[in-house]
Structure formats: C-alpha cells, structure tokens
Amino acid sequence: MKSLLAAFLIWACYLPTADAQGVPTILLARSSEQQDTTGCNLVREVTKTLYREIMAGKLRIWDSQNKELSFSASTLQSLEKSAGIAFQEQENMFIYERWTQSKREVTTSTAGLYFAHKSERGTETVFGYVDYSDVVELFSKTKMASNASGNYSATLETVLKSKNFNYRLIQLGNQSIKTPSEGQDLLYAFVGNRVFNESTLGYYPPDKYITYLLDTYADGTDAQSLNGKRLSQLLGEYFIRNQEIYYNMGGDRITSHLNRNKFRVTKIEVNEIWRKVGSEILYEPKSILIYVNDSALNEINARNLADFEFRYGETDLFGFLRTREFNIIITKINSETIERKDAFIFLKALMTEEWNKLNQYVNEYE
C-alpha cells in the first residue's frame, strides 16, 4: 500500500509543470474545518455518497492515481476495521485538479479524490483513490445535505467546482506547500479576484427549501393573523361541502362517514422554495399538507392542485400562499430542523441578512 507522501510524488511526477491543460493542484479538505457559513460538509457528503456506491458494487476505488489495483467492498471494510474509523467519518479528502487562469475566472478540471487516514499514533491508512470521471455524472445529480445557511439546489459537483467549502492548498504546480499561510499566499496570488468556473456554472440565485406552518392560532387582530385563521375555517367548511373530495384525499382514514361533520382543520404545513434575487425574495409553493383532527390528508402539489377546487376570495390555494399575507412558523430550512424558539429569529434572518450567514445570525442573536 502506497503512503500518502508516495501518492503526492506520483502526482508531482505525472503532472510536473503547467501546460495547456492547466497547473496541477492538490487541495486538502478536512471534515472538521467545514463551517456553518458554507452550509454543508463536503467531505461528509462525498464519503457518504462514494461509500454507498462502492458497497453496491457500482464504483471502483483504486490504490493510487496509477490505478494498478482496485479494492473490493470487503477490502474497504477491512481497511476501516484496521484504521478504527469508518470511511464516511474520515477527516481528510485530497482533491487532485488542474487549474487554468483567465482574466475573469479560474477554470478547474478534477482528476480524482484521494482518501487517507492518520491515527493519533501516526499510523497511516490509505483508503484509496476515486477517478473523478467515474463519478462526475453521479455528483452532478446528488444534492448536498445542507443546513439553513446552505443552498438547496447545490449538488456535489457545483460545490466542488465553485470551491464553496473550506480547503487548504498543499501543492500548486511543482511547489509543495509547507504551511497553511504559505498556501493562502499562493492561492491569493493565483486566484486573486477571479471566480472559479464562472463560465460553466453560471449564476444561480441563493435558494432555500422552507417548511413552515401557517400560524392559525395567533391571538392577533391584524390582517395577517386573521387571514391564517380564516383560511383554516374556510378549508373546514370546504371539506364539509365537498365530502367526496375530502374522502378521496384520505379523509376516510381520519373520520368515518357516520361522523362526517365532526372534524376540523388543525394544521396547515407548506413546503416552498425561496429564491433571493437581489433584495427580492421569490416564493415557489411546492406542496401543502392539510391536517384534520391532527392527522394529515394526502399531499396537495402543483400536479393535483386542479382537482382541489378551493378558493380564497378570487385565488386558489397556491395563489393565496404567494400573497404572503399571513403569519408563519418555520419548522425546517433545507436539511436543518428549526426549533420553535428559533423560528422567528430564522425568519427575521431570511428577511434581513445574507443567506449564507443565517446560522451565524441566529447563534449571535440576543
């Protein structure tokens, strides 16, 4: 088994200098150094995704960039046992790329990902190398699990290409970097104010997948409080008048035909995508769950909304949601569950703060 140093030397020999394909570069991403401002932990998400594919026999992991020997799933499990750590929980991911400068951007081409673990006693275990060409399609389709500060639409590929994660530069061309500060100086000298892969990634506005409850229990007499309570009341009346629709939506699981008028709408849960374009927030309702007697009916989404002929004034249910003339209690942002005591603070942060700093704002709120 090749050591980590040997692997670096192979890379340095294989790609010794800059050429038309770009400057050979090695980055180190450490799991413990991924912060809330990135919204995700790229190392954890990559290792989790790769491990699933390897165990399913869909992906090969190699001993080095030379790809002389591939590991089976059972071999990888043996390495985990020997190292005393699961592949998905390891700290270090080395990213092998070529970087090319232009006036406005730095274009990167990823060659592969290398995984190695060093124990507290200094024992090194090489988990292997994954050729990026084997996973590029997978990475483009795999969404990141991100907290409230992350972007909902981000995939493994877009995070890797945009460099929206914390990393250390440890080799640039034939320069092996000895300290983090040296790496930062070289990184700034090479990248400057350029953007990574701007021409291929394009611009996508920050977005969040938001789950919230309509606040139908508010004591307020303002228009927004009254709208929420009125919606709940109107939905209950609608189901009483349209009982076939109610039972087709799963109402038979909640109330029997003999007790058909003994129910009330107790909760309305909404899933939306919020996008921030400049200073404006755009809302895209995705689905609604209406709870009757604290049990959920079938989901209403854009595909079956036409079958649900409910109207609030002159608009349908999704149209009402787009008015924003009601109070909400946020329960989830992306993959992060929001505690009730923090719901208002997160909503305030979404309205007033930078979207990659929501967690920081909430943690510092007094």
Q: Of 199, 221, 253, which residue sits at a domain end? A: 199
Q: Do 129 and 187 lie in a common domain?
A: yes
State whether 256 and 311 are in the same domain. yes
Residues 99 and 136 in one domain: yes
Q: What three-state secondary structure class fits 170? A: strand
Q: What is the mean pLDDT of the chain?
A: 89
Domain check: are 215 and 289 in the same one?
yes
Answer yes or no: is pLDDT of 9 > 80: no
Residues 35 and 66 in one domain: yes
With bands split at pLDDT 50, 70 and 90, how would you rate the model's confidence at 259?
Answer: low
Per residue in 132-173, pLDDT tens?
999 999 999 999 999 999 999 999 999 999 999 999 999 999
* Domain that includes residue 276, residue range: 207-364
Do 231 and 356 belong to one domain? yes
- The C-alpha atoms of residue 167 and residue 99 are separated, in whole angstroms, by 15
Domain match, 256 and 140 both: no
The answer for residues whose C-beta is within 8 angstroms of residue 232's C-beta and 6 or more apart is 214, 216, 265, 268
Q: What is the pLDDT of residues 279-295, one digit of tens each?
A: 999 999 999 999 998 99
169 with 233, same domain: the answer is no
Confidence bin at 203 (pLDDT 50/70/90): confident
Residues 6+ apart with CB under 8 A from 142: 45, 49, 155, 156
- Tokens 């003339």 map to which residue? 325
**Could you tell me if 212 and 195 lie in one domain?**
no
Nearest C-alpha neighbor of 176 from the set 16, 2, 14: 16
The one-letter code for the residue type at 231 is L
- Write down which residue in 199, 215, 242 finishes a domain: 199
**Number of domains comprising the chain:** 2
Assess whether 51 and 69 both reside in one domain: yes
Among residues 199, 228, 244, the one where a domain terminates is: 199
Beta carbons within 8 Å of 195's beta carbon, 6+ residues apart:
104, 105, 106
Q: How far apart are CA 217 and CA 190, in angstroms?
A: 56
Co-location of 167 and 20 in the same domain: yes
Question: Nearest-CA neighbor of 214 among 320, 297, 345, 310?
Answer: 320
Segment 103-107 long-range contacts (CB within 8 Å, at least 24 positions apart): 103/194, 104/194, 104/195, 104/198, 105/194, 105/195, 105/196, 105/197, 105/198, 105/199, 106/190, 106/191, 106/194, 106/195, 106/196, 106/197, 107/22, 107/196, 107/197, 107/199, 107/200
Residues 220, 183 share a domain: no
Contact between 154 and 143 (Cβ < 8 Å): yes
